[in-house]
A and B are shown apart, each in its own frame.
Chain A
Amino acid sequence: MNGNNNVIFENVSRFYGEVLGVNRVNLSIPPGITSLVGPNGSGKTTLMNLMTGLIRPTHGCITILGIAPTDPQKLFRLVGYSTQFDSFPKGLTGFEFILSFLKFFGYSSATSTVLASKAIAQAGLTDAAHRKIAAYSKGMRQRIKLAQAIAHDPKVLVLDEPLNGLDPLVRTETIALFRRWADEGRHVIVSSHVLHEVDLISDRVILLAGGYVMAEGQIHGVRTEIQEHPMQILIRCDRPGALAARVFEQDHVVAAQILPDGGLLVQTRDADSFYRQLNHLALENIRIEGVAPADDNVNSVYQYLVGGEEASK
């Protein structure tokens, strides 16, 4: 893939005086949904602010589809950013807010009106569009920020905790919207500290802790690379006891546990070998009904990488 089509961080560090924001970040983010995952203070917002030019790196270089964040004229025709800041220009309705934002893009009044209406409709705020933002609920404020980020039809969407404050129905609709944008070939970069949510929406994750990138890539790939924690695999079969005895014959299997519901939880240091071996076992009168990784999710990966205490924050 052409590097110019990616969001690229090259050895980027950012310090706030003596305090570390992010350190030595090297990333190349392709189109699709990419989640920045980490607890509060891990550097998610700092990375987002860096890529949108709201703050500047102390060291290193950032390009968004080949454009530097120091060039807002070009950058913000390609990028839309929904920040975590929950404050708005005073006295405006939702519609006026989006309309005034679009005026800076040089659109005519008619075009601005159409784009603003479309963005507000996509964010599901049409009924409240002409109410003052000051009277909006937290969820509505979140959605008007989303509308502002998408109003000019950007190729790169940077969304800081975009699902915060949304009710379950709107959450589902919003996730579907992210999926659609990603399928259209856009970059959708979201931050979240709700790990199970990230599993649902992400094509790839960037795990952050203490200002460092701990791991990045597709969640399965990241999990496979963590060698010191055995992979957990849940197997459903008709004879779990017999299967447990058989799998223990393999050197890379470190534990096997029969669960109360009849499932067999196996821990192995070599998942690929285990899966190959399982195919042979399936031929030996043990009927395998289902096999699934038990810890191949962001929450487990994050706990393995940064420790259970921090991941639970």
Chain B
Amino acid sequence: MNTSHWAQILAIVRLEIWKTFFSRRGLWIYLFALAPVLLFTANSIYAPREQARLAAIAKSHSVSLADLTAITRGMSSSVVVAKLGEPYEQHVWRHRADHGRFFEHDVYNYTDGKSDFTFHFFNGILRRIERSDPQSLPENLLVFATIFRFYFLRLAVFFGCVGIFTNLFRGEMLDKSLHFYLLTPVRREVLLAGKFLAGLLATVVIFTASAALQWEAMLWQFPHAAVAAYFAGPSAAHLPTYLGVTALACAAYGSVFLCAGLLFRNPIVPAAVILLWESANLFLPATLQKLGVIYYLQSLCPLAAAPDSSMPAALTLLISAAPAASVPVALSCLILFTLAVLAYSAIRSRTLEINYSTD
């Protein structure tokens, strides 16, 4: 690469970046990227309001946490009311059971001002207790880690890269405008590098901005001092790490889908195959798991999305993963993989032909 190549790459990036960011075909990518931001924002608005509501209720229906936790299944509704007093909210339903009979379903709500308890009585006997505690920062971080691994990386970034990188060549083939690049004194490898960098710039901006916004939206409900204290130590690297993982995901998936757009008339087919492989990654033996990009991306994530006791068994099964790769190994593998795919694409780009009638 000499300076004229870099000037050509810059010219390509300038031409590509506008249409990559503002393509009508790509509006859905923004929806995919921003959906978790909306989720965390909604939660950050809801959680403090819910806390304020419970605190206000507790002033008129004061119940201690000890009394609430002393209630056990099998108690009658009259016993519960005798111990705790009248609930602050009560609902009654009549359900039809077998043989035309009915049963009563009573729902009583109590609070100590922080936690919300919901008791379900069936024909007057307590059968189910639901407890909702105030959200904590570590809990939210775990939620973030889970959404980041199972939605953001696997779906949002993945499909975002499908949409942007496959269009760099295939989209121009469909628009019949790729030949203009091929009529310039630009080596095909330089064209590929320029297009890749344009796609990378767009995806990194969109998805790291989304990850940063999700992070801010998640922390918004917590007092600034508490957040500052929590992230004063090693946790300070969490956000930069998530952003770095996002950028690496864009580079690795981007190289794959750039190559797919170059080689396949319909890149959705290889994208579906790769999605299947990446999704099946969790169910594969540890050795085979290492053949997926997602394995190395997850190895770099700061928090493991560990299953807790309340998670459904199916989800627990999904989350069981092979031991994570070390950071140097994961980084090296992702970078080498990206470079290898780009090198292969560069070789194939040399024989790229314009034949719109068959595309």
Tell me the A residues contacting B by CB distance below 8 Å.
16, 49, 52-56, 70, 72-77, 80-81, 83, 85-91, 100-101, 103-106, 148
A101 and B184 contact, CB distance less than 8 A: yes
27 contacts between A and B (CB under 8 A): A52-B183, A53-B182, A54-B182, A54-B353, A55-B354, A56-B351, A70-B350, A73-B186, A76-B184, A77-B185, A83-B179, A83-B183, A85-B176, A85-B177, A88-B180, A90-B19, A90-B175, A90-B177, A101-B183, A103-B8, A104-B184, A104-B185, A104-B186, A105-B184, A105-B185, A106-B7, A148-B183
B18 and A91 contact, CB distance less than 8 A: yes
Chain A residue contacts of B8, Cβ below 8 A: 103-104, 106
The binding surface of chain A is classed by DSSP as: loop
Choice from A55, A72, A88, A106 contacting B355 with Cβ under 8 Å: A55
B11 and A104 contact, CB distance less than 8 A: yes
Q: Could you tell me the distance between the alpha carbons of A148 and B180 in the complex, rounded to whole angstroms?
A: 9
Q: Could you tell me the distance between the alpha carbons of A293 and B179 in the complex, rounded to whole angstroms?
A: 43
Whose C-beta in chain B lies nearest to the C-beta of A17? B358
A16 and B18 contact, CB distance less than 8 A: no
The binding surface of chain B is classed by DSSP as: helix
Q: Tell me the smallest distance from the CB of A51 to a CB of chain B, in Å.
A: 12
Q: Could you tell me the distance between the alpha carbons of A85 and B180 in the complex, rounded to whole angstroms?
A: 10
B183 and A16 contact, CB distance less than 8 A: no
Chain B residue contacts of A72, Cβ below 8 A: 182, 184-188
Which residues of chain B from 162 to 204 have a CB within 8 Å of any chain A CB? 175-177, 179-180, 182-188
Choice from B11, B187, B351 contacting A100 with Cβ under 8 Å: B11
Chain A residue contacts of B18, Cβ below 8 A: 91
Chain B residue contacts of A70, Cβ below 8 A: 350
Interface size on B, residues (CB 8 A): 27
Q: Could you tell me the distance between the alpha carbons of A81 and B181 in the complex, rounded to whole angstroms?
A: 12
A54 and B179 contact, CB distance less than 8 A: yes
Chain B residue contacts of A86, Cβ below 8 A: 176
A16 touching B358 in the complex, CB below 8 Å, given contacts A73-B186, A104-B184? yes
Q: Could you tell me the distance between the alpha carbons of A204 and B4 in the complex, rounded to whole angstroms?
A: 38
Q: Does B230 contact A (CB under 8 A)?
A: no
Q: Does B356 contact A (CB under 8 A)?
A: yes
Whose C-beta in chain A lies nearest to the C-beta of B175? A87
Chain A residue contacts of B179, Cβ below 8 A: 54, 83, 85
Chain A residue contacts of B176, Cβ below 8 A: 85-87
Q: Tell me the smallest distance from the CB of B353 to a CB of chain A, in Å.
A: 5
Task: Taking A55-B353, A91-B18, A104-B184 as given, write out 5 further A-B residue pairs in contact, using a Cβ cutoff of 8 Å, ordered by the A residue number.
Answer: A53-B182, A56-B353, A72-B185, A85-B177, A91-B19
Q: Could you tell me the distance between the alpha carbons of A233 and B183 in the complex, rounded to whole angstroms?
A: 46
Chain A residue contacts of B185, Cβ below 8 A: 72-77, 104-105
Q: Does B15 contact A (CB under 8 A)?
A: yes
Which residues of chain B from 317 to 359 have a CB within 8 Å of any chain A CB? 350-351, 353-356, 358
Q: Could you tell me the distance between the alpha carbons of A295 and B354 in the complex, rounded to whole angstroms?
A: 39
Chain A residue contacts of B355, Cβ below 8 A: 16, 55
Q: Tell me the smallest distance from the CB of A19 to a CB of chain B, in Å.
A: 10
Q: Tell me the smallest distance from the CB of A210 to a CB of chain B, in Å.
A: 18
Whose C-beta in chain A lies nearest to the C-beta of B354? A54
B4 and A106 contact, CB distance less than 8 A: yes
Chain A residue contacts of B353, Cβ below 8 A: 54-56
B4 and A88 contact, CB distance less than 8 A: no
Indicate the member of B4, B183, B185 with the most A CB atoms within 10 Å: B183
Q: Could you tell me the distance between the alpha carbons of A103 and B184 in the complex, rounded to whole angstroms?
A: 9
Q: Tell me the smallest distance from the CB of B253 to a CB of chain A, in Å.
A: 25
Whose C-beta in chain A lies nearest to the C-beta of B22? A91
Whose C-beta in chain B lies nearest to the C-beta of A85? B176
